[in-house]
Structure 1
C-alpha cells in the first residue's frame, strides 16, 4: 500500500535532522570542553528528539499482524545498529585478526549505539502490545517505572541486562521520550490541532518556550540527569522538578513548531526547488541519522571536522551541506536493496 506523505511533515523533519547534525558538530568538534554551555546546543537539545518521537507517535497506528510489524520495525530500527557496530569493530581492528571476532563487544556496541532508534522501537512495541493487552501493559510499565525511579537499576550485576537497559538510555531516554510519543498519538487521534490552531495559542506556546529557555542549561538535559527519583524513603525533589521542567520546555517547543509548520507550510509553494530538496531530505532522515552517527559522531573516516566547526554560525552552513551530501548518499545506497536494508533499515 502506498502511503501518502505530508509535505509539511517532511519539511519539518528535514529541519530537525539538520539541527541534529548541527548539535553533534558543536558537541564533538567545537573545541569547547564544556559544550553543554553553548547556547545553540542548549536550544537544540531542549526539543529536537522529543519532536522527532512526537511525529512518530502522531502517525502511530495499531497493526493487525503484530509479528510482521515487529519484524519490519526491527529491521528498520535495530538492524542498522548491529551493522554500524560491525563496521566500527572492523575499523578498530585495522583489518587484523578479524577471524577472531569479539561477539560480546559487537553486541554491546550494537546495544549502546543509536540509542534513539532503540527507544523508538520500544515505544512502538509498547503501543502494539498496549492495544492487545492493556492491563498487562500498564502493570508492566508501572513496575518498570518503579524499578528505574527507585534506583534498583544501579544494582544490576548481570552484564546482558545492564547492556540492554543502557540501550534505551538507562531508562532515562525512554522516560523522557515516551510521553511525547503518547502525546503525538493523542494529538492526531483526538484531533487536538483543531482546538489549538488559533494564532493566540501559537504565540502563547512560543512565549512559554522562550520564557522557560531563559533558565534552561545543558545540565538540564537527560544526558546529565539521574533517572532516580526516590531511594530508602527519600524523595529527590530536585530531580523530580528538573524532569518536569525539562519536559515542559520540550512540550511548548513541540507545540509551537508542529503547529507552525502544519498551519503555515503552504503547499502552494512546494514546487520551489528548495522546498522539494527539504521534503526529500525529510523522507530520508533515518538514513541520514545513521550516516551522521558513523561519519560525525564516530568519525569513521577521520575527517577534519574540528577545523570547520569552531564557529557555531559557520557550523550551521556545514550542517546543511553535510545533510545534503548524506541525503545523496542515502539515495545512492537505496539502489542496492540488500545493502540498504543492512545499513539504513531499508
Structure 2
C-alpha cells in the first residue's frame, strides 16, 4: 500500500510538471529553463521509472524462472505497454485535428504521423525497452550482485540506440536500480534514512551545477545532435545524481509524512488510485498536453497576458499546484469511467 501511495504522489508530480510545461512562458526555451519545471523533473520521472523496475522484480518472482516469464508473461506485458501507446497516439492526432494544429511531416503518410505521435508517449516505450534489456541481463545473472552487476552494465548500451531507447538512456539506470533494490539489498529502508543530510547536500550541489552549466540543459534526455561527448557525460551524470538523491529524499519525506495521513480520505484515495498510475499517465497526456495546453496558449494570445506567469513565482507555484490537483481529479474520473466499460478498458489500456 505504501508504494501505491508513492506512485500516486509521483503521478501527481507528473501532472504538476505537465501543467507547468503547458503554461510556461512562451519565450522560455528550452522549457526546462523554467525553474519550477526543472525542479520537478529532476526527481519525478526517475522515481516513477524506479518504481516500475521495483514492481517488475516482484512480477518476475511469481514465475519459476526468467525463461518461463519471457515465454508466458512478456508478450502480454509488452502488449499492455505498446497497445495503449498506439491507442493514445491516435487520440493525440484527433486532438491535433480538433485544434487545427499544424501537423509536422505533412508530406508523410498518415501511418507515419501516427507512429511519431505514438513515439511521443515515451515513458511507456522506455518501460517496454528497459523490461527487455533487464530480461536479457537476467539470463546471465546468478543472484549475486558482485557477479550480476556487470551484465546489467553490459547491456546498458542498448538504451542509447536511437529510436529504441526514446533518447532517455539514463532511465535504464533507474529502472535497473529499481529492480536491483529488492533483488540484492536486504537492509530495511529505515537503515538508509540516517544519510538524508548527505543526500540533501548532494542534491542541492547537483541542482546548482545543472542549473548553471556553461551550456543549456537542452532537455531531460540526451541530444547527440547538438552536444559534445563531454556535455552529454556531464548532463547525464548530473541527471542521475539528481534522480537518485531526489528520489531518495522524496521517499524519506513520504515515509515520515504518511503515518500522519492514515486516517484521512486522501490516504485511502492515494492507495486506491496508485494502482492505476499508468492509466492516469496516459489520460493526462490528452487532458493537459492536447487540451489544456492549446487552450491556454490561445487564451494568452487573445488577452496578451500570461496569467500564471505574470504575477511572480509564488502565484505561479500556487496556481499550477491547484490546477494540477483539479486536473488530476478530472483525470481520475475519466479513468473510472473508462474502466466501467470492458471494451473501452481493453482498447485503451489493454485491461479486461
1:63-82 equivalent positions in 2, closer than 5 A? 63=63, 64-82=68-86
Q: Is residue 2:205 matched to residue 1:211?
A: yes
Of residues 313, 338, 343 in structure 1, which corresponds to 2:343? Answer: 338
Partner residue, 2:196: 202
Q: Is residue 2:131 matched to residue 1:117?
A: no
1:190 Cα deviation from its structure 2 partner: 2.2
SS of 1:65's equivalent in the other structure is helix
Q: Is residue 2:87 matched to residue 1:83?
A: yes
Of residues 219, 222, 243 in structure 2, which corresponds to 1:250? Answer: 243
The change in CA–CA distance for 1:329 and 1:176 in structure 2 (over 3 A counts) is same
Of residues 100, 112, 122 in structure 2, which corresponds to 1:104? Answer: 112
Contact 1:76/1:344 (<8 A) preserved: yes
Aligned equivalents of 2:139, 2:164: Cα separation in 1: 25
What TM-score do you get using the length of structure 2 for normalisation?
Answer: 0.76
Cα root mean square deviation, aligned: 3.2
1:240 Cα deviation from its structure 2 partner: 1.5
Further displaced range: 29-38 or 12-21: 29-38
Aligned equivalents of 1:264, 1:13: Cα separation in 2: 15
1:51 Cα deviation from its structure 2 partner: 0.6
Aligned equivalents of 2:186, 2:241: Cα separation in 1: 18
Cα displacement string for residues 225-273 of structure 1 (whole angstroms, at most 9, x for unaligned residues): 434899xxxx83233122212211111111222244346532x742321
Of residues 140, 165, 168 in structure 2, which corresponds to 1:168? Answer: 165
Aligned equivalents of 1:323, 1:332: Cα separation in 2: 14
Further displaced range: 202-211 or 216-225: 216-225
1:298 Cα deviation from its structure 2 partner: 2.1
Cα displacement string for residues 299-346 of structure 1 (whole angstroms, at most 9, x for unaligned residues): 289544766644232111010111111112111211112211222342
Of residues 282, 294, 297 in structure 2, which corresponds to 1:290? Answer: 282
Partner residue, 2:138: 131
SS of 1:214's equivalent in the other structure is helix
Contact 1:47/1:249 (<8 A) preserved: yes
1:7-86 equivalent positions in 2, closer than 5 A? 8-34=2-28, 35-61=31-57, 62=60, 63=63, 64-86=68-90
The change in CA–CA distance for 1:9 and 1:343 in structure 2 (over 3 A counts) is same
Contact 2:16/2:321 (<8 A) preserved: yes
Contact 1:287/1:330 (<8 A) preserved: yes
The change in CA–CA distance for 1:228 and 1:88 in structure 2 (over 3 A counts) is closer
Gaps of 5+ in 1: 1-5, 95-100, 154-164
What TM-score do you get using the length of structure 1 for normalisation?
Answer: 0.77
The change in CA–CA distance for 1:224 and 1:257 in structure 2 (over 3 A counts) is closer
Further displaced range: 184-193 or 116-125: 184-193
Aligned equivalents of 2:269, 2:156: Cα separation in 1: 44
1:81 Cα deviation from its structure 2 partner: 1.3
Aligned equivalents of 2:153, 2:17: Cα separation in 1: 37
Aligned equivalents of 1:54, 1:301: Cα separation in 2: 28
Partner residue, 2:144: none
